[in-house]
C-alpha cells in the first residue's frame, strides 16, 4: 500500500465511480475503493466517515455535473423565453443522454440518489431556483405573466417530469419523444406568456 499518496475527496470519488462500474452497487465496498487507490480503507474513511457518506457524495457529484450547464443558461443573457426553452431542453437532453450512454450506471446513480434524500432535495431546489431566475427575468421583460416565480418554477419542473426524471427513462427511446416534448413545451409557454390586451 502506498500511504504516501495524497488523497483528495475528488480523487476518491473518481475511483469510487470506477469501482461501482466494475463491481456494481450491491458488491462494491470501501475496501474495494481503497484497494483501487492503493491505500488503506482508513485513509478513505478520513475523508468520508462512512460508506453511506461516500455513496451520498457520489450521488451529489453526479447531480452536480448535470447542474453546471444549466446554471450557465440561467445566469446568461438573452431573451428569457429562449433561455427557458434552452434550459429545459438541456435538462432533458442531459438526463436522456446519460441514460442512453450507460443505462446500468444510470440506474446505479438513481439508487444512490434515492438513498441521498437531502442531496436530491437540494438538487431539485437548486434547479427550481434556476428556473425561477429565468421566469423573473421574463416578468421584467414583460413576456411572462407570473405571480410567484418560485411556485411556478416548481410547477414547471414537475410538469416536465416525464422528460427528465429517471423513473421515466424507459420512455425516452420512444419514437415520438421529440413531438411530445415540443407539444408540452408549447403548452407550458402559452400558459406563461403575457396575454395580449383586448
Secondary structure of 120-182 as H, E, C letters: HHHHHHHHHHHHHHHHHHHHHHCCECCCCHHHHHHHHHHHCHHHCCHHHHHHCCCCCHHHHHH
Query: What's the grid cell of residue 153?
Result: 418554477
* Cα–Cα distance, 125 to 116 (Å, whole number): 14
Q: Where in the chain is the domain with CATH 1.10.10?
A: 9-47
- Beta-bridge partners for 183: none
SS3 47: helix
Percent of the chain with pLDDT over 70: 96
CATH 1.10.1330 fits 9-47, yes or no: no
Q: Does the pLDDT of residue 70 top 60, yes or no?
A: yes
- Which residues, other chains included, contact 66 with Cβ-Cβ below 8 Å and sequence gap of 6+? 91, 94, 95, 98
pLDDT band at 84 (very low <50, low <70, confident <90, very high): very high
pLDDT value at position 120? Answer: 85
pLDDT band at 1 (very low <50, low <70, confident <90, very high): low
pLDDT band at 2 (very low <50, low <70, confident <90, very high): low
pLDDT value at position 106? Answer: 81
Q: Does the pLDDT of residue 172 top 60, yes or no?
A: yes
The third-level CATH classification (topology) of the domain covering 51-192 is: Tetracycline Repressor; domain 2 (1.10.357)
Q: Where in the chain is the domain with CATH 1.10.357.10?
A: 51-192
Query: What's the grid cell of residue 65?
Result: 455535473
Is the CB of residue 100 less than 8 Å from the CB of residue 172?
A: yes
Q: Does the pLDDT of residue 74 top 90, yes or no?
A: yes
Is the CB of residue 144 less than 8 Å from the CB of residue 192?
A: yes
**According to the per-residue pLDDT averaged within each range, which of 42-56, 59-73, 125-139 is highest?**
125-139
SS3 75: coil
By 3-state DSSP, what share of the chain in percent is helix, strand and coil, each rounded to 5?
75, 0, 25
Give pLDDT tens digits for 128-156: 999 999 999 999 999 999 999 999 999 99
Q: Say what the pTM is.
A: 0.85
Amino acid at each position: 500500500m502506498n500511504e504516501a499518496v495524497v488523497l483528495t475527496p475528488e480523487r476518491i470519488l473518481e475511483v469510487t465511480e470506477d469501482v461501482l462500474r466494475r463491481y456494481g452497487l450491491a458488491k462494491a465496498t470501501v475496501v474495494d475503493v481503497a484497494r483501487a487507490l492503493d491505500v488503506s480503507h482508513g485513509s478513505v474513511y478520513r475523508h468520508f466517515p462512512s460508506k453511506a457518506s461516500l455513496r451520498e457524495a457520489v450521488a451529489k457529484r453526479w447531480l452536480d455535473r448535470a447542474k453546471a450547464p444549466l446554471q450557465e443558461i440561467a445566469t446568461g443573457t438573452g431573451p428569457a423565453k429562449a433561455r427557458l426553452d434552452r434550459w429545459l431542453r438541456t435538462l432533458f437532453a442531459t438526463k436522456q443522454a446519460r441514460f442512453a450512454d450507460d443505462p446500468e450506471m444510470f440506474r446505479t446513480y438513481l439508487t444512490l440518489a434515492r438513498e441521498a434524500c437531502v442531496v436530491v432535495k437540494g438538487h431539485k431546489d437548486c434547479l427550481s431556483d434556476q428556473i425561477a431566475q429565468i421566469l423573473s427575468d421574463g416578468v421584467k421583460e414583460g413576456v411572462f405573466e407570473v405571480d410567484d416565480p418560485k411556485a411556478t418554477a416548481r410547477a414547471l419542473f414537475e410538469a416536465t417530469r416525464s422528460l427528465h426524471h429517471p423513473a421515466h427513462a424507459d420512455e425516452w427511446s420512444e419514437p415520438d419523444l421529440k413531438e411530445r416534448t415540443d407539444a408540452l413545451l408549447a403548452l407550458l409557454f402559452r400558459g406563461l406568456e403575457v396575454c395580449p390586451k383586448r
